[in-house]
């Protein structure tokens, strides 16, 4: 496809231009090995870690297939573990005496 200035346009050209600009930007910033897709993955990972649901994340990323978003499900493990530890701490605390237990000396009667 060509526009009025006879430059090629379309998704492939836009992707190439973006990749070229991204490479220049990373070089100027002294960043090596960072892909645009890495930022997308980090975005999704932060959403998962923040408790967002997979359907919501899929919608934000434009995924049409839920299994594509399910790749991020493994990231739920850490927030789930932390939540479970919090509940466990409440249960353990509930079983502890509020005041320290006093040991009484046995009195021997004459």
Per-residue model confidence as pLDDT tens digits over 31-86: 999 898 888 888 888 888 788 888 999 999 999 998 888 887 776 667 777 778 88
Integer angstrom CA distances of residue 63 from 35, 66, 72: 19, 7, 12
CA-to-CA distance for 71 and 48, rounded, in angstroms? 11
Residue for token pair 């930007």: 25
Q: Name the residue with tokens 């934000």.
A: 60
Q: Locate tokens 């070229």: which residue?
A: 20
| pTM more than 0.75 | no
- Two structure tokens written together for 81: 């573990």
- pLDDT (tens digit per residue) in 8-21: 666 666 667 888 88
Rg (CA), the chain: 28
């Amino acid at each position: 496809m060509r526009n009025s200035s006879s430059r090629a346009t379309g998704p492939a050209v836009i992707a190439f231009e973006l990749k070229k600009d991204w490479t220049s930007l990373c070089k100027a910033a002294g960043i090596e090995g960072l892909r645009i897709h890495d930022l997308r993955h980090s975005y999704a990972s932060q959403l998962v870690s923040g408790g967002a649901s997979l359907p919501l994340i899929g919608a934000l990323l434009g995924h049409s297939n839920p299994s594509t978003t399910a790749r991020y499900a493994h990231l739920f493990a850490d927030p789930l573990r932390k939540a479970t530890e919090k509940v466990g701490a409440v249960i353990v605390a509930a079983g502890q005496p509020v005041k320290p237990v006093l040991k009484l000396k046995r009195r021997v009667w004459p």
